[in-house]
Structure 1
Amino acid sequence: MTFEVFNQEYSDYLLVPSGLLVLVMYHVWLLWTIIRHPTRTVIGLNTMCRRRWVYHIMNDQPTNGILGVQTLRNNLMASTLLATISITLSSLISAVISTLNKPTNVSITIDHVKYFSVLICFLSAFFCNMQCVRYFAHSSFLLNVPAPEQRDEFIEYVSQTLNRGCLFWSLGLRAFYFSFPLLLWIFGPLPMFACSCLISLSLYSLDSACSTSWHLPNGHRDCKETHTHDYGLKADSMETAPSEDDNLYCSLLRITKLGSITDTSC
């Protein structure tokens, strides 16, 4: 009996940190890829598409204004739904934690750690989705505001606001993804570790936008050139669009131009 308890504790101390390390290492690699090679990720390509969408909407506001507001309204509904789900699950987890045996002195049982870690994930998802609602609602107002004299700078500000909302949307989804292995941790450390590895592989297939080179004429073009050709994302096709050499994720990092950082105050 003592050996089984020791083996269970040893598995928790070994497999659980290993599973979390797999998830953290994958997201560190994803962040590095987004910053260095944004067109190799779905997040980078979506950021470019949203920037061009804002330029398209605001260049013809009388015609496209209603379309832009309706599109943001659909995203607002999705963010509100996820926020409602996350706060509901947080309430349920809090009720479960309150029914557990209270720890004696300062010792905390492993069950409290399991449920509390899941609670942190759902609360983080709620916070990110509420910020997403905030930025989407703000973008819906800015989208139909007549552009001032400095038209390009104002349109870029609107695209930054929209992309920040989408950044919180992505973070909220990542919080839900992190909750899956933590929920399975309740059933044991082995399911938690297996789920962490499986989620990392699934996210890689979903986040990677690099196509294979079998369909290319020379077979040596990189992923950035491939997606620029396939999706028609060359910046020179629009006069007011930012250049292709700009960092596509700069608006999420509050950088208006490559190498120049704006004020980080809200």
Structure 2
Amino acid sequence: MTTNPWLAAIVTLGMVAAYEGWLAAVQRRAPGRLAHTTHASLREDWFAAISAQPGSEILAVQTLRNSLMSATMTASTAVLGLMGALSLTAPALHATLGEGATGTAAWPHFTPRLAMELVLLCLLFASLVASVMAVRYYHHAGFIGGMPVGAPQRQRWAAAGSAYVRKAGLLYSWGLRQLILLVPVVTFVLHPLAGVAGALAVVIALTQFDRYRIENE
């Protein structure tokens, strides 16, 4: 049976886009049902509790440092993947967008594989940016969390610290999410139908990861 690569690419990306659109709608209607919004509130509550407990500065810095290192590892993974993907995609881009045999600019001819490789680059770049920004916010929150709890400077920066840990956590989760979304793109490069299967598997997995639930409720 002949597989239409463009149709497979549309179905692969369409399933992921449809799920992300549904998730955005659920977040507007009932954010408490989603894990990443609930955990963002958890981080804000943690910072508020740690800021009310004298002597907790070292614990706060250690916790934020662990989170910072996790975001750093995600950023490192994304940049390594981006460099590798660029080295593999550059020849195809040069052949597609470079000059023709007559020295004139060749008319762009995108194949489904090249289109998905460009999506791959975009996802890796998005993951890198989100992870680096998470590192930035965790870094600033670490300075705030290291201030003595009773100091007036700590009180002045308390609201910023709470906002920073929330933003850092959301950015970190977005960075991880972009890496997960690489699965259907990479499998499509291997075979178009594998991309459809990979998209279905990722959507099923994300429905479990994105849903907030308490096992014993």
Aligned counterpart in structure 1 of residue 85 of structure 2, from 88, 93, 108: 93
Residue equivalent to 1:178:
181
Residue equivalent to 1:202:
205
Task: Give the aligned residue type for 1:96.
Answer: L
1:114–1:150 distance in 2 versus 1, CA, 3 Å: closer
Alignment of 1:194-233 (within 5 A): 194-210=197-213
8 Å contact 1:129–1:172 — kept in the other structure? yes
CA distance in 2, matches of 1:154, 1:87: 32
8 Å contact 2:31–2:37 — kept in the other structure? yes
1:211 Cα deviation after fit: 5.7
8 Å contact 2:144–2:154 — kept in the other structure? no
Q: Structure 1 unaligned runs (5+)?
A: 216-229, 231-266
Residue equivalent to 1:73:
65
SS at match of 1:63: coil
Residue equivalent to 1:246:
none
CA distance in 2, matches of 1:80, 1:140: 15
Structure 1 residues 8-31: Cα deviation after superposition (integer angstroms, max 9, x where no partner)? 4xx222222122122122122222
Aligned counterpart in structure 2 of residue 15 of structure 1, from 8, 20, 38: 8
1:118 Cα deviation after fit: 1.1
1:179–1:150 distance in 2 versus 1, CA, 3 Å: closer
Residue equivalent to 2:169:
166
8 Å contact 1:83–1:125 — kept in the other structure? yes
CA distance in 1, matches of 2:146, 2:214: 37
8 Å contact 1:128–1:172 — kept in the other structure? yes
CA distance in 2, matches of 1:150, 1:91: 41
Q: Normalized against structure 2, the TM-score is what?
A: 0.84
Residue equivalent to 1:117:
119
Aligned length: 205
CA distance in 2, matches of 1:67, 1:149: 19
1:34 Cα deviation after fit: 2.6
Task: Give the aligned residue type for 1:191.
Answer: A
CA distance in 2, matches of 1:82, 1:149: 32
SS at match of 2:56: helix
1:119–1:174 distance in 2 versus 1, CA, 3 Å: same
The Cα RMSD (Å) is: 2.4
Q: Structure 2 unaligned runs (5+)?
A: 101-105
Aligned-pair identity (%): 21
8 Å contact 2:184–2:195 — kept in the other structure? yes
Pair 1:83 & 2:75 matched: yes
Task: Give the aligned residue type for 1:41.
Answer: L
SS at match of 1:106: coil
1:56 Cα deviation after fit: 0.9
Residue equivalent to 1:242:
none
Structure 1 residues 126-174: Cα deviation after superposition (integer angstroms, max 9, x where no partner)? 11110010000011112234564995x8533321111111111111112
Pair 1:135 & 2:127 matched: no
Task: Give the aligned residue type for 1:39.
Answer: G
Aligned counterpart in structure 2 of residue 31 of structure 1, from 19, 24, 27: 24
**Which moves more between the two structures, 26-35 or 187-196?**
26-35
CA distance in 2, matches of 1:102, 1:88: 24
Task: Give the aligned residue type for 2:183.
Answer: F
1:150–1:76 distance in 2 versus 1, CA, 3 Å: closer
Pair 1:50 & 2:43 matched: yes
CA distance in 2, matches of 1:150, 1:99: 53
1:191 Cα deviation after fit: 0.9
Task: Give the aligned residue type for 2:67.
Answer: N
